[in-house]
């Protein structure tokens, strides 16, 4: 098994469902790296203190384009997702959020 498969199996065993869980989405710049800072978006299950996933932010882009990519990788049905408010109003992100949570309403 490759790492991704093993990691997925471990996470599914540790956390079988995200329903009712709080997922915090946040972006960080890793400074002190060789060259320019690396920007990442991270999804964390608050109660479990478990990182569900990360997505790199393209050098010529921003978090607005990386967050939908990360959300589409996760099964967030039934979860409460929090994101810095300034990103939520942006059209690409709003569409990704709607696709992810439309079955809740």
Give the C-alpha distances (Å, rounded to integers) separating 49 from 15, 20, 65: 11, 15, 25
Which domains, ranges and CATH numbers included, belong to the chain? 3-104 (3.30.420)
Digit-coded pLDDT (tens) for 35-80? 778 888 888 998 888 888 888 888 777 777 777 778 877 878 888 8
Listed residue (75, 30, 68, 84) closest to 52, CA to CA? 75
pTM comes to: 0.69
Taking the C-alpha atoms of residue 104 and residue 69, their distance in angstroms, rounded to an integer, is 20
């Amino acid at each position: 098994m490759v790492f991704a498969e093993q990691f997925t199996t471990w996470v599914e065993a540790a956390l079988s469902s995200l329903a009712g869980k709080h997922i915090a989405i946040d972006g960080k710049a890793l400074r002190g790296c060789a060259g320019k800072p690396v920007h990442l978006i991270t999804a964390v299950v608050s109660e479990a203190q478990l990182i569900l996933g990360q997505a790199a932010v393209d050098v010529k882009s921003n978090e607005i384009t990386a967050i939908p990519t990360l959300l589409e990788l996760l099964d967030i049905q039934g979860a409460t997702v929090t994101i810095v408010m300034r990103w939520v109003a942006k059209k690409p992100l709003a569409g990704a959020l709607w696709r992810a949570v439309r079955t809740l309403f």
